[in-house]
Amino acid sequence: MNDYILAAIFLLLAVGGVVVRKTYNYIPAHELKRRAEHHDPLASRLYPAVAYGSSLRVLLWLYIGLMTAATIILLARALPVWASLLIVGPLLWAAFSWLPASRVTVVGARLTVIVTPFITGLLNYLHPLLGRSSMVVHNHAHIQEHTGLFERGDLIELIEQQQRQPDSRLSEEELEAARRALNFSEYKVSDVLVPRKAIKTILAKDTVGPVLIDELHKNGLGYVLVRDGPKDEFVGSLAFKSLDLHSNGKVHDFMDKGIYYVHADDSLNQALHAFFTTHQPLFIVVNSFEEYVGIITIEGIIKQLLGHVPGDDFESYHHISAVARRHPKPEKAKPAKTTKKKEDQAEKPNEENGGAAEEPEAKPEESKDTPVKTDGKVVE
């Protein structure tokens, strides 16, 4: 009878060890540390033990192993072998397979909080030994944790899973940008171009005035293509932002005369390389028959990459004062207080100079600009 009671006690102790281990591992250690730093009550109590890392894992596995072995030995003494296996088998499955995969319960969390000070005290003395033992096993076993990721699709699935995770602190915008970046190389110019029928064309000899500016504003694309004649080749492009209400003259006075082309079947990586190579904001898209099918802009590529063009509506980058006001001024450090003793010494007359206080020699103000050397002189 005593063997049954002791076996039940050891089994409960083993199950308790599994529950404690599961509670410690319910979130990664680095996340537990972040929550503890933000004064999360449960994380603040659990992290002192979790911070021991492999030493905590070795200690818990030793404890669970000893309690399980004691349970099996006591049951084998009191029951036939086949009966012991029938009892121990399901119990081991529940303790080591089902229980660790279940959710953390309130009871388990409370139990772990209660035993954590005792475990932390043990680890404070056993950490050097347990840590070295864990390191020896790790070095000889060549254990390497696998990420479970094999190709880009696996990473995209991970991002989509993160989007559904309730406690995720990654914003939808950040996750969407990561997903788009992974898929960026799969898109072609034809996927993001502005089609030919949506693009307005004007003539180089057209007059720039309120009517034309209003039409460009309504068009909403930001760019129009320029021809010499209705059926001639393109000779340039005109950006709406290069005009204002006071602009007047002919289109050829304001247009960008650079004309560059990309193929509709080029990848967006190739198109992005073309933008950086030529420093042009707009490309005309053609097909294999040299037919004009649309345009592509750097804004269109960035929108495909990030989902939107980042930033606010600020446009006054040419005004230094406007840019400076975008961020608050740093607070100036308060001047150090002069002690009374130093003030008395400063006010004490210099006896060697006839009782008059000696004034410090004024130093010439140093220029912050770098002198420029010319043929005859140095210009400050």
Per residue in 226-239, pLDDT (tens digit) is 999 888 889 999 88
Per residue in 204-228, pLDDT (tens digit) is 998 888 888 887 777 777 888 999 9
The DSSP call for residue 77 is H
Q: Return the amino acid letter for 94.
A: A
Per residue in 9-18, pLDDT (tens digit) is 888 888 888 8
Instruction: Report the pLDDT value the prediction gives residue 353, as an integer from 0 to 100.
Output: 47
C-alpha angle 266/272/274, rounded to 5°? Answer: 80
Instruction: Report the pLDDT value the prediction gives residue 380, as an integer from 0 to 100.
Output: 42
Instruction: Report the pLDDT value the prediction gives residue 265, as an integer from 0 to 100.
Output: 94
pLDDT of 6 higher than 60: yes
pLDDT of 247 higher than 90: no
Of residues 136 and 295, more confidently modeled? 295
Q: Give dist(CA 21, CA 112) in Å, integer.
A: 8
Instruction: Report the pLDDT value the prediction gives residue 248, as an integer from 0 to 100.
Output: 81
The total number of residues shown for the chain amounts to 380
Other beta carbons less than 10 A from residue 17's beta carbon: 22
pLDDT of 365 higher than 60: no
Name which of 1-5, 55-59, 268-272, 288-292 the model is least confident about: 1-5
Q: Across the strands, what pairs with 239?
A: 223
pLDDT of 48 higher than 50: yes
pLDDT of 357 higher than 50: no
Specify whether the CB–CB gap between 49 and 24 falls below 8 A. yes
- Sort residue 331 into left (φ over 0), alpha (ψ -120 to 50) or beta: beta
Per residue in 187-203, pLDDT (tens digit) is 899 998 999 988 888 89
Share of the chain above pLDDT 90, in %: 18
Handedness of CA 186, 189, 190, 193 (dihedral sign): positive
CA distances from 53 to 21, 161, 354 (A): 12, 27, 75
Instruction: Report the pLDDT value the prediction gives residue 142, as an integer from 0 to 100.
Output: 56
Q: What share of the chain is helix, strand, coil (3-state, %, to 5)?
A: 55, 10, 35
Structure tokens belonging to residue 59: 């200690």
Of residues 160 and 98, more confidently modeled? 160
Structure tokens belonging to residue 87: 């009892």
Other beta carbons less than 10 A from residue 143's beta carbon: 8
Label residue 71 by pLDDT band (50, 70, 90): confident
Strands (E), the chain: 194-195, 201-203, 207-208, 223-227, 234-239, 249-250, 261-263, 282-286, 292-297, 372-373, 378-379
Of residues 247 and 56, more confidently modeled? 56
Instruction: Report the pLDDT value the prediction gives residue 352, as an integer from 0 to 100.
Output: 46
Picking from 225, 146, 192, the residue whose alpha carbon sits closest to that of residue 297 is 192
Other beta carbons less than 10 A from residue 49's beta carbon: 23
Instruction: With H, G, I as helix, E, B as strand and everything else as coil, classify residue 134.
Output: helix
pLDDT of 152 higher than 50: yes
Specify whether the CB–CB gap between 226 and 204 falls below 8 A. yes
Instruction: Report the pLDDT value the prediction gives residue 189, as an integer from 0 to 100.
Output: 93
Q: Give dist(CA 297, CA 290) in Å, integer.
A: 19
Q: Give dist(CA 258, CA 247) in Å, integer.
A: 21
- Sort residue 290 into left (φ over 0), alpha (ψ -120 to 50) or beta: left
For the chain, give the mean pLDDT: 80
Name which of 13-17, 23-27, 210-214, 267-271 the model is least confident about: 210-214
Per residue in 90-143, pLDDT (tens digit) is 777 776 676 666 778 888 899 999 999 999 999 888 888 887 777 766 666 555
Burial class (CB in 10 A: 0-12, 13-18, 19+), 231: exposed
Burial class (CB in 10 A: 0-12, 13-18, 19+), 68: buried
pLDDT of 375 higher than 50: no
Residues 287-300 have a mean pLDDT of 90
Instruction: Report the pLDDT value the prediction gives residue 367, as an integer from 0 to 100.
Output: 44
